[in-house]
A and B are shown apart, each in its own frame.
Chain A
Amino acid sequence: MQVVKLSLKKANKIPIEADNVNPDNFAGKTAEEIKAISVWHGNGQFPLGDLFNVEVEGSDSVENTMIVFEGDVSRVKRIGQNMSAGEIEINGNVDMHCGFGMKGGKVVINGDADSWLGCEMTGGEIILNGNASYYVGSGYRGEACGMRGGKITINGNTKDYLGEHMCGGEILVKGNVGLLPAISNNGGKVVIEGNATMPASEMKNGTVIIKGEVSDLLPSYKEEGTEEVEGVTYRKFVGDVNVGGKGVLLIK
């Protein structure tokens, strides 16, 4: 097991771009090597060690590498981007694009996450023990596919455009979501235990289950009886009719 502990040397408003900070890039490296990794901060590049305190215990493979952030990293973007294995634990709030393009491994956030959590991820797991902002599990601007695989669990609330353009994988939100969850999705499964507004607009494929209140159901779904999932009976809606969709929207 290799454990890399990172904490910010000083609070920052200008975000640090930590797209290099993942187990794939840290495994087997010494503290000195990790400190030398270059990251963007504003319009300049700096060695990681200039911005973070770095402690390394052990040396191991990617699968057995764990990165732990202590304290607030709410202005550190792209933590865990493209990671394929290993684990990241964040004990504080985290900035945008955490777990972007993630392929495997696990990210646990004990705090809130800013927008684009788990964007375009294809595998692995993200567990958020706080609230998320906009565009969880969505795609980059203009892309037809967002999240394609893996699982995101949000134990708090999240805001608009959850799972936008989702093509696969699973998202579970224990709290409420904002506007237009699962918009333009084409596969995958979204479960929302709290409330949602205008769900599943232009869904082509996929399943959306909402256990709380739904406001402003879009006038593009056909109601087709009921369906039972895990002992609970839901009203079943099929659509979006305007995209010839075969998506299933289950509402309590």
Chain B
Amino acid sequence: MKIKANLISGRTANQGAHLEAKTHKGYFDACAYCELNSADLEKLGASEGDSLKVTTEFGEVVVFAKANGGNPDGLAFIPMGPWANAVLSPDTHGCGMPGFKGVPAEIEVTDEKPLDMKSLMKKYLED
């Protein structure tokens, strides 16, 4: 089962608290997840902690599922960081700012596990 979602990213306190500890697991835990409301998670048949694959025009990334009742239907949130950036839009729209909010995405449950930070970055070097 796949759902279509509108993907945004943003700061969280936990992400902020790990800004200077990005090699730590705490940072991974703070950033490598995608929040959907429980209705959307239910549609996917996913529970918190399951792996989700988020795919956009710009790439794909595997993150953990997390529930957030504050999200309206179809709104997905990944904290700002390298996981979110694997799939956000590089188009700067003539004004310098990449597309960090409002990127159409497809989300599905996967067996793959999210990559840790170093493995994620390593993929760029291999490209």
Contact = CB atoms under 8 A, between A and B. Distances in A.
B94 interface: yes
B89 to A, nearest CB: 13
Contacts of A159: 93-94
Interface in B72-127: 93-95
Nearest to A141: B95
Nearest to A179: B93
A201 interface: no
Interface residues of B, number: 3
Contacts of A115: 94
A134 interface: yes
Contacts of A134: 93-95
A133 interface: yes
A135 B94 CA distance: 7
A60 B91 CA distance: 43
A134 B95 CA distance: 9
A237 interface: no
B21 to A, nearest CB: 35
Interface in A116-151: 133-135
A183 to B, nearest CB: 12
A161 B94 CA distance: 9
A240 interface: no
A133 B94 CA distance: 8
11 contacts: A115-B94, A133-B94, A134-B93, A134-B94, A134-B95, A135-B94, A159-B93, A159-B94, A160-B93, A160-B94, A161-B94
Interface of A: 115, 133-135, 159-161
Given A159-B93, A160-B93, 9 more contacts: A115-B94, A133-B94, A134-B93, A134-B94, A134-B95, A135-B94, A159-B94, A160-B94, A161-B94
